């Protein structure tokens, strides 16, 4: 039985990937190497410091810890200045309808995001009240693909992990959901995202009935 639904934030509810990309690209420009959208795929769902380490690896740059902290702070400053002007218009298709439907069916929702900026994004897009629990990058020490972020979401909803369905757009997140023993619906294509129980291209393609059907029909 589906007793809770857990949402990733970036790429599932809102499209902030473009803002992350712009801010990381500015850092790469400053360090003198190119950083493309294809490179950016590797950063999706990955924590801020891990993202910086991947970026530096792509550029073949080695830096001292102190310098890395400065760059991560600079990236975040640019990112926060973008998301501080976000509004409900930046919710992805279907997000608002699905949250409303789940609430009317008394199925609790949780957020399971790697972003430390998640609370600000929920607030600016007006969806905070739909969440029974919010777990973000401030709450966990082990990042996705570790299941901690989703297990904590289930715990805070007081729902067993096996009764939860997760929506994820990043491979690390799909892996985390599977390790948590949850049903995972991938937002994206099966070629980019391996191991989900079902795939949709946006939340506009799902609803409570579809979520139940995927959960009840899962074989693995």
Rounded Cα distance, 64 and 67, in Å: 5
The active-site residue out of 8, 139, 163, 192 is 8
CB of 3 to ligand G16, least distance (A): 22
Is 10 part of the annotated catalytic residue set? yes
Q: Is 169 marked as binding a ligand? A: yes
Decide if residue 175 touches Mg ion (CB under 5 A). no
At residue 110, the 3 state secondary structure works out as: strand
Segment interacting with Mg ion (CB under 5 A) among 23-31, 77-85, 86-94, 170-178: 170-178
DSSP 66: H
Q: Which of 11, 145, 161, 186 binds Mg ion (CB under 5 A)?
A: 11
Burial 159-189 (b: 16+ CB within 10 A, else e): bebebbbbbbbbbbbbbbbbbbebbbbbbbe
For residues 14 to 53, the per-residue mask of contacts with Mg ion, x marking binding by CB under 5 A and - elsewhere, is -------------------------------x--------
Phi and psi (nearest 5°) for 201?
A: -95, -20
Reported in sequence order, the residue ranges of 16-121 that DSSP labels E, i.e. its strands, are: 109-112
Region near Mg ion per CB under 5 A, out of 28-36, 100-108, 167-175, 192-200: 167-175
We find the least distance from the C-beta atom of residue 200 to ligand G16, in angstroms, to be 16
Contacts (Cβ under 8 Å, ≥6 apart) of 95: 12, 13, 14, 127, 203
Cβ distance to ligand G16 smaller for residue 43 or 98: 43
| Cβ atoms within 10 Å, residue 1 | 10
Q: Catalytic: 8?
A: yes
Does 191 appear as a known binding residue?
Answer: no
**Positions marked catalytic:** 8, 10
């Amino acid at each position: 039985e589906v007793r809770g639904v857990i949402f990733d934030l970036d790429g599932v509810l809102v499209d902030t990937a473009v803002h992350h990309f712009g801010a990381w690209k500015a850092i790469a420009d400053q360090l003198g190497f190119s950083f493309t959208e294809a490179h950016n795929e590797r950063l999706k769902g990955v924590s801020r410091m891990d993202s910086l380490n991947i970026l530096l690896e792509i550029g073949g740059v080695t830096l001292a810890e102190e310098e890395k902290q400065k760059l991560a702070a600079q990236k975040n400053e640019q990112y926060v200045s973008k998301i501080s002007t976000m509004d409900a218009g930046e919710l992805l298709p279907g997000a608002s309808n699905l949250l409303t439907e789940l609430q009317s069916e008394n199925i609790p929702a949780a957020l399971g995001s790697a972003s430390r900026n998640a609370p600000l994004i929920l607030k600016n897009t007006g969806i905070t009240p739909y969440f029974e629990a919010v777990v973000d990058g401030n709450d966990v020490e082990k990042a996705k693909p570790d299941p901690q972020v989703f297990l904590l979401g289930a715990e805070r909803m007081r729902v067993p992990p096996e009764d939860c369905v997760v929506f994820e757009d990043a491979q690390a997140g799909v892996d985390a959901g599977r390790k948590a023993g949850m049903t995972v619906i991938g937002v994206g294509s099966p070629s980019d995202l391996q191991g989900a129980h079902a795939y949709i291209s946006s939340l506009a393609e799902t609803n409570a009935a579809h979520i139940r059907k995927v959960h009840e029909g899962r074989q693995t």
